Amino acid sequence: MRYLTSGESHGKQLTTIIEGIPANMPLLKEDIDTSLLRRQKGHGRGRRMQIEKDLVEIMSGVRHGYTLGSPIALVVTNDDFKSWVDVMGEEPLEEDDKVRRVVSRPRPGHADLNGALKYGHRDMRNVLERSSARETTVRVAAGALAKTMLKQLGINVVGYVKEINGIRAKEIDGLSVQERFDISDNSPVRVLDPEVEQEMMDRIDEAKQEGDSIGGVCEVYVEGMPAGIGSYVHYDRKLDAKLAGSVMSINAFKGAEIGVGFEAARMNGSDVHDEIIWDEANGYARRTNNLGGFEGGMTNGMPLVIKGVMKPIPTLYKPLQSVDIETKEPFNASIERSDSCAVPAAAVVMEHVVAFELAKAITEQFASDQFPQLKKALEEYREEIRCF
């Protein structure tokens, strides 16, 4: 499985083409739209989410509610493009218009300057439009296909917020994926702990009033992944490493943890490693889950727990100092429309990015040209390792 995305933040549309989805898998437009609409929610979101109504068009690869096994093309139209035709249209501009619209002032924390240096763009609009987190719209769409597949295989994925600007949700043990989904989906900040919900919202409002932005920590929780998915044999097939890489690929994410993560550096080995237990009904399990469902680059049958750290969005209403690339004069960085806190939305993005990596790992390990064939192979494997 793999996918490619294209499109700019204020361009005509965002597109993704997904290859490797098994044939004969049930798939409805609503499966994708539900995820896209969840991405748009969250306290602290900017005005852009009021302009766009992110709904998908399935352009190919699906017929009468079932996948064909061929590449699936998905499109999300940018409603805001109508206001940006002169700026983002493909037709050549008159020289005066071209000069007038050039963005020559890079914003600290963005891809503007580095992208301009890499590709030789004197107009950094060419960089900032593509590097925008708007691209995650179709990454969520691709992940929604993966989530649909996983759910039909008995694997469920949910993302939520653990921390915003130092305000931490307490650990709530014993919640199922469905319970985590229901609680977080009804929270404006997508948090499981109701005691910190209002505090988080107040802090987001405070940052907005100050013209600032804040970040936080997202967590993805997965139930149903059987043991032994991934590999200990080759470094580039370790599934926990792939998940960490996928999380780090999300805009503004600066770190990833599995299980207790960096806290393991402060713990004794006897407190970190999860004791192995067994019973006839369930087979092997662990007494605890400090390692977040992974050992040796492979799943161990326990719930997967992955955290991602999102930095504050670098577009500020109290801009930082930068340098104009044409004049080399200092200036206060320009403002593009932005959120004061996008951590609740980022939790949804992370959920879908993780789902895609998990689905990809499943299709790599089992015969997957046909979905019924894949489902049968996974059921047989589950029974085999239970009785091992």
pLDDT tens digits, 52-94: 789 999 999 999 999 999 999 999 999 989 999 989 999 887 7
Long-range contacts of 54-61 (CB under 8 A, 24+ apart): 54/137, 56/29, 56/32, 56/141, 58/29, 58/32, 61/18, 61/21
Stretch 309-316: mean pLDDT: 87
Per the document, the length of the chain is 388
pLDDT at res. 43 = 87
Distance (Å, whole) CA 169 – CA 162:
5
Stretch 15-21: mean pLDDT: 98
pLDDT at res. 173 = 83
* pLDDT tens digit sequence for 281-292: 999 999 999 999
Q: Is 25 helix (H, G, I), strand (E, B) or coil?
A: coil
The torsion region of residue 184 among left (phi > 0), alpha (psi -120 to 50) and beta comes to: alpha
pLDDT at res. 337 = 56
Nearest 5°: the CA angle 270, 272, 277 is 80
* pLDDT tens digit sequence for 38-50: 999 888 766 655 5
Which amino acid, 374? L
CB 229 within 8 A of CB 362: yes
The CATH number of 2-386, from 3.90.1150.30, 3.40.50.970, 3.40.50.300, 3.60.150.10, is 3.60.150.10
Stretch 275-299: mean pLDDT: 96
Question: Shortest CA distance to 139 belongs to which of 349, 347, 363?
Answer: 349
CB 123 within 8 A of CB 103: yes
> How remote is the C-alpha of 310 from its chain's centroid?
11
pLDDT at res. 362 = 98
Q: Dig out the tokens for 18 from the structure.
A: 């997904």
Residue 310 sits at φ, ψ, to 5 deg, of -105, 125
Q: How confident is the model at residue 339 (pLDDT cuts 50, 70, 90)?
A: confident
**Domain range annotation of the chain:** 2-386
Q: CA separation (Å) from 301 to 4, 108, 220, 251, 380?
A: 30, 43, 16, 30, 15
Q: Dig out the tokens for 369 from the structure.
A: 């040209």
pLDDT at res. 93 = 79
